């Protein structure tokens, strides 16, 4: 149950072989995570995650196109609350962006303020979703539209919940002396990328579920 | 002048470090049971674990062929037969082929090929492997629980998968979700490693072909596997919560399931066979002592297969009420895949042409792959044609076709690769006599088993049933004899692998005089892959007409860091 400590024998032997070439030696710390590849890896994961949503969207649009609902049920949804929710998420993307700028300036207090605000907006979104769920005239198994609606918004809601947890973790790690700082902003960048992704998915969801 | 050995790359005065760098991970075989982060250990974990599941899947195939040796259902009950064929397909695809050609050889070779000391995300890598054993155990355990294992085949088509016993089906879904997650994590890791971890100075178009194959495969994994995951989650809702996504009785739509399922499962064919293309492209040049023919066209062919592979899925659904325009599109797109595949096929032939071929076990399996694969490819093009497909849909013709691709293609390459890389894995050669016996038995057994199934399918024998018309009995018995031969062929292989690991002839570092980077180090390699700096191999296939003129230093060492003559 163990691993090589980062930069053990490999790095030392590189140094011993060719000190002159040391500057151009690729900076893999041998068996550790590679900083420059991590955001790339996360982006690749988000492509995969996005494909899950794409599958759901395709299923939903096909159901709508070819499977008529039983008489008396409709696709109509209340628009006001979801519209407010959309604005909340979009604003939270902006506040997260401000948090990132704060961190890079070295202003941790500002960074943490904007992070907390982003998390708050995320929680407000989830609360709005709950209120909407409790006031909907249909349940999960009522008809195909109802099932698809809950599956899509529920899966997205899980992503928002995870995002809020990530923001709070980043908020904690960005305290003074924490592992996230202007010099090592990876955790914050990763959470921000993920949060923008979740927002983007919501915009598509809002478009095809509520507006279409 | 003799061939250079890797020690020639050691700069003067550089002491050779001990091959295992100091007790930081469990020594000996124990590390193969640990959460090791070493890509070579993880690669072998995938490989050995995959072979264990291969033997299980083979035993299940044995049950199927024993049942089908006679026209009536007399060996196992029909329900058991359904469970066995579902488990056979699931184990062979998700626990054997995909993990071994991707995770097994990919993890072992890709870091060497890009000149790195490990994968981009070693922890994610270990997690990806350790998802597999629990998923496999979950799948097996479902057989012993109430209602037994899933009975709806590896496709799990609703409404069948909704109406058969629920527990087995839900465990099947859970298992496939875990394996899909493992596959996605692996794919992300391969993409990041190949694109981000290349040694400075190493261009993309200088990479060994297996890197391109794994890059293409991983793109398919990342784009298509999540769709299967989402679909199976919806299916589990249908089973557990009685929603009606895919249940026509509740207003749902089964054809949507089929589209989403095949959006993953057709690319899955390429996920299983593209890495095999890559491996065979490494093996043929070395044993034919010739450069790989048409490197650039190979790369473009792989990428063309990736793009086309994503837009051909509905050719599995010509009998599902697909509209004419859809049939037209998917027939044409599928036929187009034959073009890049044919380019690769002829490139392999041209690589062999005029080569100094060593017909050892690795080469025998690789050449047999070319033969089997072209047969499977031709029946594939035939199946893409709507009128023909409607005639043979869901018959043994389809079974014969995909076993020619997946067994005759990929499994033959896996065996070839084991003979080829075993000296690197263990430092010892495999026994050639046993290897050739293994090859002869496998080749005859395979063709005896699956060639008659073309005939059976053309004459209308349906797949997935335990009973059939007595007029099909003769060819079914021939097929079962072939299956028995295939089972027997495993014995010399097992004896060979186990005995050679301990008592095999020492291989030396580079028994094949190969130029690709994994051979330019000790066998087995040290934890950090190379004692010194990673060699820069810009011409991985620089084999020439005369052995004497191959100079590893010219082919690989010109820009070696620490080269004393620079």
For the stretch A72-130, pLDDT in tens is 777 678 899 999 999 999 999 999 999 999 999 999 999 999 999 999 999 999 999 99
Shortest distance, CA A139 to any CA of chain B (angstroms) = 10
Tell whether B18 lies on the interface with A, counting CB pairs under 8 A.
no
Average pLDDT over residues A178-199: 94
Q: Give the residue from chain B lying closest to A2, CA to CA.
A: B25
| Start-to-end Cα distance in chain B | 21
| Environment class of B509 (CB within 10 Å of its CB; exposed 0-12, middle 13-18, buried 19+) | middle
Confirm whether A49 is domain-assigned: yes
CB B214 within 8 A of CB B275: yes
Average pLDDT, chain A: 84
Q: Which residues of A touch B528 (CB under 8 A)?
A: 9-10, 13, 30
Shortest distance, CA A71 to any CA of chain B (angstroms) = 12
DSSP label at A209?
Answer: I
Q: Which domains does chain B have, with CATH numbers?
A: 36-557 (1.20.210.10)
Q: Which residues of B touch A159 (CB under 8 A)?
A: none
Tell whether A53 lies on the interface with B, counting CB pairs under 8 A.
yes
Pairwise CB contact (< 8 Å): A25 & B117: no
The CATH number given to whatever domain includes residue A174 is: 1.20.120.80
Shortest distance, CA B344 to any CA of chain A (angstroms) = 28
Tell whether A76 lies on the interface with B, counting CB pairs under 8 A.
no
CB B206 within 8 A of CB B123: no
Residue B542 is predicted with a pLDDT of: 82
Q: Which residues of A touch B188 (CB under 8 A)?
A: 41, 44-45, 48
CA distance A54 to B555: 46
Q: How many domains does one find in chain A?
A: 1
CA distance B367 to B420: 13
| Start-to-end Cα distance in chain A | 53
Size of interface A-B (CB pairs under 8 A): 181
Pairwise CB contact (< 8 Å): B192 & A62: no
Confirm whether A92 is domain-assigned: yes
DSSP class per residue in B225-274: HHHHHHHHHHHHHHHHT---SS-GGGT--HHHHHHHHHHHHHHHHHHHHH
Confirm whether A172 is domain-assigned: yes
CA distance A76 to B227: 27
Within 13 Å of residue B159, how many CA atoms lie on the same side as its CB? Answer: 11
Pairwise CB contact (< 8 Å): B562 & A17: yes
A21 has pLDDT over 90: no
SS3 B432: helix
DSSP label at B553?
Answer: I
- DSSP lists the bridge partners of residue B254 as none
Among A3, A36, A58, whose Cβ lies nearest the Cβ of B37?
A3
Name the B residues in 159-188 with CB < 8 Å from any A CB: 184, 187-188
For the stretch A74-85, pLDDT in tens is 767 889 999 999
Confirm whether A26 is domain-assigned: no
Shortest distance, CA A107 to any CA of chain B (angstroms) = 31
Report residue A208's pLDDT band, with 50, 70 and 90 as the boundaries: very high
The single residue listed with the structure tokens 């710390």 is: A29
Confirm whether A15 is domain-assigned: no
Tell whether A13 lies on the interface with B, counting CB pairs under 8 A.
yes
Helices (H), B459-537: 473-503
All residue ranges of chain B with pLDDT < 70 are: 1-27, 544-566
For the stretch B529-560, pLDDT in tens is 988 888 888 888 888 644 544 555 444 443 33
Domain limits for position A140: 35-211
Shortest distance, CA B150 to any CA of chain A (angstroms) = 24
Residues with Cβ within 8 Å of A23's Cβ and at least 6 positions away in sequence, in order, are: none
CA angle at A68 for the pair A62 and A69, rounded to the nearest 5°: 115
Residue B3 is predicted with a pLDDT of: 42
Pairwise CB contact (< 8 Å): A31 & B243: no
Q: Give the residue from chain A lying closest to B125, CA to CA.
A: A33
Residue B360 is predicted with a pLDDT of: 95
Tell whether A38 lies on the interface with B, counting CB pairs under 8 A.
yes
ipTM confidence score = 0.88
CA distance A161 to A129: 12
Q: Give the residue from chain A lying closest to B32, CA to CA.
A: A1
CA distances from B437 to B4, B432, B488, B489 (A): 33, 9, 10, 8
Shortest distance, CA A186 to any CA of chain B (angstroms) = 15
Q: Which residues of B touch A5 (CB under 8 A)?
A: 24
DSSP class per residue in B18-52: PSS-TTSS--GGGGGGS----HHHHHHHHHHHHHH
Residues with Cβ within 8 Å of B40's Cβ and at least 6 positions away in sequence, in order, are: B107, B108, B524, B525, B529
Residue B371 is predicted with a pLDDT of: 96
Q: Which residues of B touch A1 (CB under 8 A)?
A: 26, 34-35
Within 13 Å of residue B92, how many CA atoms lie on the same side as its CB? Answer: 20
- The token duo for B138 is 């979950």
Among B17, B35, B184, whose Cβ lies nearest the Cβ of A13?
B17
- The token duo for B417 is 């690769």
CB B445 within 8 A of CB B415: no
Confirm whether A99 is domain-assigned: yes
Residues with Cβ within 8 Å of B352's Cβ and at least 6 positions away in sequence, in order, are: B284, B288, B290, B367
Pairwise CB contact (< 8 Å): B197 & A34: yes
- The token duo for A51 is 């494909």
DSSP label at B510?
Answer: -
Tell whether B235 lies on the interface with A, counting CB pairs under 8 A.
no
């Amino acid at each position: 149950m163990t691993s090589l400590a980062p930069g053990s024998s490999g790095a030392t032997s590189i140094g011993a072989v060719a000190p002159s070439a040391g500057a151009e030696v690729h900076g893999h710390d041998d068996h550790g995570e590679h900083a420059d590849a991590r955001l790339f890896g996360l982006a690749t994961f988000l492509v995969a995650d996005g494909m899950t949503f794409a599958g759901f969207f395709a299923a939903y649009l096909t159901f709508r196109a070819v499977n008529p609902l039983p008489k008396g049920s409709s696709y109509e949804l209340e628009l006001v609350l979801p519209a407010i929710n959309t604005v909340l998420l979009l604003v939270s993307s902006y506040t997260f962006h401000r948090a990132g700028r704060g961190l890079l300036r070295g202003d941790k207090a500002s960074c943490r303020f904007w992070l907390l605000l982003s998390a708050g907006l995320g929680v407000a979104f989830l609360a709005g979703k709950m209120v909407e769920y409790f006031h909907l005239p249909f349940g999960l198994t009522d008809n195909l539209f109802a099932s698809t609606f809950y599956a899509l918004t529920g899966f997205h809601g899980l992503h928002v919940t995870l995002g809020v947890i990530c923001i709070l973790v980043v908020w904690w790690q960005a305290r003074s002396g924490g592992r996230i700082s202007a010099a090592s902003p990876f955790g914050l960048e990763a959470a921000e990328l993920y949060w923008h992704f979740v927002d983007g998915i919501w915009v598509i969801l809002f478009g095809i579920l509520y507006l279409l | 002048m003799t061939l250079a050995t890797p020690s020639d790359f050691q700069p003067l005065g550089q002491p050779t470090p001990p091959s295992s760098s100091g007790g930081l991970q469990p020594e000996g075989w124990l590390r193969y049971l640990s959460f090791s982060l070493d890509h070579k250990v993880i690669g072998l974990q995938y490989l050995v674990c995959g072979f264990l599941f291969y033997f299980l899947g083979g035993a299940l195939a044995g049950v199927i062929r024993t049942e089908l040796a006679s026209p009536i259902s007399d060996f196992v009950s029909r329900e058991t037969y359904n469970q066995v064929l579902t488990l056979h397909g699931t184990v062979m695809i998700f626990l054997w082929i995909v993990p071994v050609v991707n995770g097994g050889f990919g993890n072992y070779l890709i870091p060497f090929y890009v000149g790195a000391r490990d994968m981009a995300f070693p922890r994610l890598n270990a997690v990806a492997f350790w998802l597999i054993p629990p998923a496999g155990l979950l799948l097996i355990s479902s057989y012993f629980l109430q209602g037994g294992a899933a009975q709806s085949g590896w496709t799990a088509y609703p409404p069948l998968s909704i109406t058969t016993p629920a527990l087995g089906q839900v465990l099947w879904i859970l298992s496939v979700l875990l394996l899909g997650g493992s596959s996605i994590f692996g794919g992300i890791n391969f993409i990041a490693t190949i694109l981000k971890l290349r040694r400075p100075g190493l261009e993309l178009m200088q990479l060994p072909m297996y890197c391109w194959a794994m890059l293409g495969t991983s793109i398919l994994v990342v784009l298509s596997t999540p769709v299967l995951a989402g679909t199976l989650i919806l299916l589990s809702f249908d089973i557990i919560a009685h929603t009606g996504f895919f249940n026509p009785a509740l207003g749902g739509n089964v054809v949507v399931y089929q589209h989403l399922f095949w959006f993953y499962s057709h690319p899955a064919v390429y996920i299983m066979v593209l890495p095999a293309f890559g491996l065979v492209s490494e093996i043929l040049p070395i044993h034919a002592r010739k450069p790989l023919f048409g490197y650039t066209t190979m790369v473009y062919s792989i990428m063309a297969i990736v793009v086309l592979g994503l837009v051909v899925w509905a050719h599995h659904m010509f009998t599902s009420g697909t509209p004419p325009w859809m049939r037209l599109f998917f027939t044409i797109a599928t036929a187009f895949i034959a073009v890049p595949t044919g380019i690769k096929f002829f490139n392999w032939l041209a690589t062999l042409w005029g080569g100094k071929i060593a017909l050892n076990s690795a080469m025998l399996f690789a050449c047999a792959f070319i033969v089997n694969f072209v047969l499977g490819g031709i029946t594939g093009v035939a199946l893409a044609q709507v009128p023909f497909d409607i005639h043979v849909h869901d018959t043994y013709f389809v079974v014969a076709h995909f076993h020619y691709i997946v067994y005759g293609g990929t499994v033959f390459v896996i065996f070839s690769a084991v003979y080829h890389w075993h000296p690197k894995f263990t430092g010892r050669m495999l026994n050639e006599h046993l290897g050739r016996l293994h090859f002869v038995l496998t080749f005859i057994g395979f063709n005896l088993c699956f060639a008659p199934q073309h005939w059976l399918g053309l004459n209308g024998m349906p797949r997935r049933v335990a009973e059939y018309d007595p007029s099909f009995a003769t060819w079914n018995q021939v097929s079962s004899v072939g299956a028995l031969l295939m089972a027997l062929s495993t014995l010399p292989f097992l004896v060979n692998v186990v005995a050679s690991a301990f008592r095999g002839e020492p291989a030396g570092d580079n028994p094949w005089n190969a130029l690709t980077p994994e051979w330019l180090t000790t066998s087995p390699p040290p934890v950090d892959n190379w004692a010194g700096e990673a060699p820069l191999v810009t011409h991985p296939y620089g084999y020439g007409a005369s052995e004497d003129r191959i100079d590893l230093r010219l082919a690989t060492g010109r820009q070696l860091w620490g080269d004393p003559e620079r």
